[in-house]
Structure 1
């Protein structure tokens, strides 16, 4: 008697699959996901190039920073993919819970954190350190979007006032560290969302005055801010060692670079694996790779924005817009600082620079962007 023929096991998702993973498979932007994966790969390549000299300066093993980053990359990928699976409602819920947790961590940082170069921004966790402000950036962007959207769609709900209060609280905690640069980035993202939500001319004038006043106050009250601005405006007024080395790296790299591992400037650039990793890309791989990195960030932002062109949810538009502004602004600050286009600011290049907190927070941001830009049929719950 012949044996019954068994149907082959299903090895892929079909469009009829209504499970959580099945819906994710057919609605996520795979092109955007591929661009993010390329950025992560370039980050590992550049840390492999810039890490050994930095490790030698602290007496660690040759591949100390590479090995530590490799530990975080799989975790970051899992975090990004796990969040991208969530529906919009759960993206918002997750962001609110994460924001509350990291706000508590931010409050505890002055008491539990370690003082590094006059700033208390990191909480030691064994061999690693947590920087709560990195995670406040993406989660607060989503919380602020929720408040602005609720203010417009729910009568008598003071969402704008709540958002203003939260921004003031976050800003005060960051300035106390002190971390004026992070404060400016978060405030800029929040201001962009406020603008997209449709703020009145009164609020435009008030926010502009507050921003100018805050910048002037920071210049006069924070010596390190004043020093960086003065050195940018007048290079002869102070030490320009790092920026001179960074510019030298771009000059020596030319169009196609000196070759992988052949860079010399990274031997003398203390932050070559973090704040000035773009200079390492310029010296070893030339203008070609620098333009590719710029193009990848531009592509990610434009691609996600195009996916939102038919979006009708104000919350989704504000949340995704804030997250994309944050990614783009941070990338611009890092690259422009390396090229001496703006005063230097210790800020990592997303997905490229060394740093566990930076990598995980960027993965968190991109996971929420992937979730918010997934295709949704009319009537799908938010």
Structure 2
């Protein structure tokens, strides 16, 4: 076991005694539970789609989990200034790639969200999500510390550019999450309340417009409001899984929903957990996600740096909202949306982006004994 003395002044020594080890441990536990659940849920999926290697998805998940951990730890070593610079670089590259998907992206289920390179598929919007939260926080904080700098206007312009790319793909789920985080940061920044309300109104108009102009959005909302309005196969199987699991579950590996749900290793992995491990485990998982978010807020609210507060708040809200959307969709509490359960679901770009986002959270919530830069 690696240990560091309090007098150790090496990079990792200082990191170990300043990082939030409770939050780091909670994230590590989520990663471990995700690996266990994917091991249980993915073999039937591999068999169903004709992959000879039963543990193909498990191996791929672990292969992506290792660089995600490296990214998380590496980014968590940065100062707030370093976080800003890295986030800006990632944001600019990711936005360019989002628009590139419209030209060279591969169309899957009517959407162009992925760029395929040999051996890997990249979803650029996953990286836009955490990077934009930090860039927006930076701009909002500059508006406060430098009254002559039009940080809010620049943030609005970048928001518009980002949203246009996501809507054109189209990716309404990602658009909603990025918008919800940005609006929250806008509000926390203490900017003009009338402008906040006006932007909120535009958001509502956008959702209504999406309902009437995008057939897949119309279908999902209609099926949520009226179960008989269309095919609710995945949701119905998911609800059956929770009912079968009961309080304690059927036992690890004993569930059946993974043999029927196409996305049991990804979007509906929470249903596999509900069937095999039961209600108590699922509630524990909810508590674990809540702990990561609330622990982060508890740490950052003690910081006097405005940028750190806004950036960490945006990243934590994003993390919690993504978890809530995934679990809510599995329980039919909201329309279904293809969004992974953080560190639990199978995913490549999602896992790397989550490692990047959580690395920034750990960096921003580290103890500092001087002014944050």
What TM-score range do you get, normalising by the shorter chain?
over 0.9
Q: Which runs of 4+ in 1 moved over 4 A?
A: none
Q: Match for residue 257 of structure 2?
A: 265
Indicate the SS of the match to 1:129. Answer: strand
Say yes or no: does 1:34 pair with 2:20.
no
1:127-146 superposed matches below 5 A: 127-146=119-138
Selected match of 1:209 from 201, 217, 222: 201
Q: Match for residue 3 of structure 1?
A: none
1:116-265 superposed matches below 5 A: 116-265=108-257
Q: Is the 8 A contact 2:105 2:113 kept in 1?
A: yes
Per-residue CA distance 1:107-143 (angstroms, 9 max, x = gap): 2111221110111100002122000000000000000
The 10-residue stretch of structure 1 (18-27 or 178-187) with the greater mean CA deviation from structure 2: 18-27
TM-score of the two chains, using structure 2 as the length reference: 0.98
Indicate the SS of the match to 2:263. Answer: coil
Say yes or no: does 1:346 pair with 2:338.
yes
> Quick one: distance in 1 between partners of 2:153 and 2:207?
23
Selected match of 1:278 from 270, 286, 300: 270
Indicate the SS of the match to 2:170. Answer: coil
Selected match of 2:46 from 47, 55, 60: 55
Which structure has the bigger radius of gyration?
1
> Quick one: distance in 2 between partners of 1:74 and 1:271?
23
1:74: Cα distance to partner? Answer: 1.1
Q: Match for residue 96 of structure 1?
A: 88
User: Mind listing any 5+ residue stretches in structure 1 that lack a counterpart?
Assistant: 1-10
Indicate the SS of the match to 1:187. Answer: helix
> Quick one: distance in 1 between partners of 2:301 and 2:136?
21
Q: Is the 8 A contact 2:183 2:200 kept in 1?
A: no
1:12: Cα distance to partner? Answer: 4.9
Per-residue CA distance 1:71-104 (angstroms, 9 max, x = gap): 0111111110000011111011110111111111
> Quick one: distance in 2 between partners of 1:13 and 1:355?
33
Count of equivalent residues: 371
> Quick one: distance in 2 between partners of 1:75 and 1:260?
28
> Quick one: distance in 2 between partners of 1:66 and 1:18?
38
Q: Is the 8 A contact 2:186 2:196 kept in 1?
A: no
Selected match of 1:105 from 97, 110, 114: 97
Q: Match for residue 6 of structure 1?
A: none
Selected match of 2:303 from 311, 321, 324: 311
Indicate the SS of the match to 1:345. Answer: coil
Q: Is the 8 A contact 2:301 2:309 kept in 1?
A: no
User: Mind listing any 5+ residue stretches in structure 2 that lack a counterpart?
Assistant: none
Q: Is the 8 A contact 2:42 2:58 kept in 1?
A: yes
- Root-mean-square deviation (Å): 1.1
1:20: Cα distance to partner? Answer: 2.6
Per-residue CA distance 1:212-260 (angstroms, 9 max, x = gap): 1001000001000000000111111111111000000000000111111
> Quick one: distance in 1 between partners of 2:49 and 2:213?
32
1:188: Cα distance to partner? Answer: 0.3
